[in-house]
Structures are given as C-alpha cells and as structure tokens.
Amino acid sequence: MTAAERDGVGAAASVAGDAPGDGPVRLVVVSAGASDPSSTSMLADRLAARTVAAARERGVEVTVSTIELRTLAKEIAAALVSQVDGPGLEAATRELAEADGIIAATPIYKAGVSGLFKSFFDLLDNDLLIAKPVAPAATAGTARHALVVDEAMRSLFAYMRALTVPTSLFAATEDWADPALEARIERAALELLLLMESGFATQIRERSWAGYQHQYGSAGGTELAIDLDSDLMRLADGGHPAPPR
C-alpha cells in the first residue's frame, strides 16, 4: 500500500465509520513496548481491562484489539523510506480507522517517546484520528520523565486532531506498587469509555468533516470540493470578481 492508498483507506473509514451505538464499542491498544512482556504493554493492558470492566458495569460491550509495534518494526522502517506499507501496517491502519477509542502507550527514552512509537504515528494519514478519543500512557525507569506524556504525547495527538482524555498515565519503576497508579488508571478508563460512548468522533465526521483542513488526497475526495464560483477562482481563470451587490 502506497502513502496515497493509505490516505484513502483512512479517509474512507473516517467518513463512513459506524456509530458506537450500532454495535460493540471498538477499542484499539497501540503499544511500543520493546520486549515481551514489557512494562509498557502491561500498563496499556491494565487500562484496557479497566475500560472493559467499566463498560460492563454500564451495560456496554467493548471489543479490544492490540497493535504491538515491535512486531511491525521492519515494516515501519521500510515504509519511512519507501512510502509503501507492508501487510501488517495496512492492517494496523484499518484497525485505527475503525476504532472508537485508542490507548497509545510508549516507553520513554532520554526524555522522549520511543522512535518506534513516533515513526508509526508519523506514517499515519493526518485525517485518520480526527476527533477520536485517545488515552496516552507511558512508562520509564525514573520519574524524571513524568512530564513527557503531557509535553510530547499530547502535542502529537493535538496535531493529529485527536481528543486526548484529561488523565495522563505515567508509571515509573516505583509507581507499580503505589495505589495511586490504580486510581489514575480507573479515572482514565472511565474518561475514555465516556468519550467512546458519546459517539463524538462519529458526529464530527457526519456534521463538520468538510470544515477541517485536509491534505490533497487524504480525505477520500472530500477535500476536492472547490467553489469554482468564488472571486479567487474567477480571477485564476482570467475573469473578474463579481460586481458588488
């Protein structure tokens, strides 16, 4: 799949996605944990499990799928230089396009998200995550990295026009035995669930999708709706602006 084809896949699913009320709510976990098992995947799994439990208490069915980026490392590296996706990246793109909510988890290295995590999201079409709820989560060996979630991850998803939940999750080595971590997980899970239940992303796609700036070829053709009768287009065609009324 080329970059242009990837854009089309994301756009088609984004424009025509089903509302959460039409079936189970779809939660996708993206983990950049470098090992198996990893503390990053553990944190993401705990958040996903708590979200499912909270949904069950509210009579809502949630399906969970996981994208382990370490298994896509070769495809991600190849796509960065070739602009062609392998089958694993194609499947991951489709999953995110159809997701009602996302948990995005990364280890922190030298005060930044992992290169694997950033490279994966760099490859995604800018329209793919518009208005989708995202719960950012990160792990590190020291609390010195605690602000990376808010400083780096939130800005990344803001650029992609996703909707991050209010609670950021960060776990350093010493946090795993702290009851406060579980309280933050529970809070983030409820926030994510309520946003997914609301169908906010679907309503944005249905009611104001054309109001967003789209890259050429990235919005399934919806970015090509051009007003040919505007003063600018008349001037470009060698004509004159419309006379004032």
Task: Supply the pTM of this predicted model.
Answer: 0.80
Residue 199 lies in a domain: yes
Residue 234 lies in a domain: no
Residue 161 lies in a domain: yes
Residue 158 lies in a domain: yes
Query: Given a cut of 70, is residue 44 above it in pLDDT?
Result: yes
Residue 241 lies in a domain: no
The larger pLDDT score, comparing residue 81 to residue 13, is at: 81
- Looking at residue 14, its pLDDT comes to 42
| pLDDT tens by residue, 184-242 | 999 999 999 999 999 988 888 887 767 776 665 554 444 445 555 666 666 666 666 66
The larger pLDDT score, comparing residue 35 to residue 67, is at: 67
How confident is residue 177, by pLDDT bands cut at 50, 70 and 90? very high
Q: What is the CATH number of the domain that holds 105?
A: 3.40.50.360
Residue 196 lies in a domain: yes
Residue 239 lies in a domain: no
Domains: count for the chain? 1
Residue 238 lies in a domain: no
Query: Given a cut of 50, is residue 18 above it in pLDDT?
Result: no
- Looking at residue 220, its pLDDT comes to 47
Domain of residue 208: give its range: 3-218
Average pLDDT over residues 56-66: 96
62 φ, ψ (degrees, to nearest 5) = -120, 130
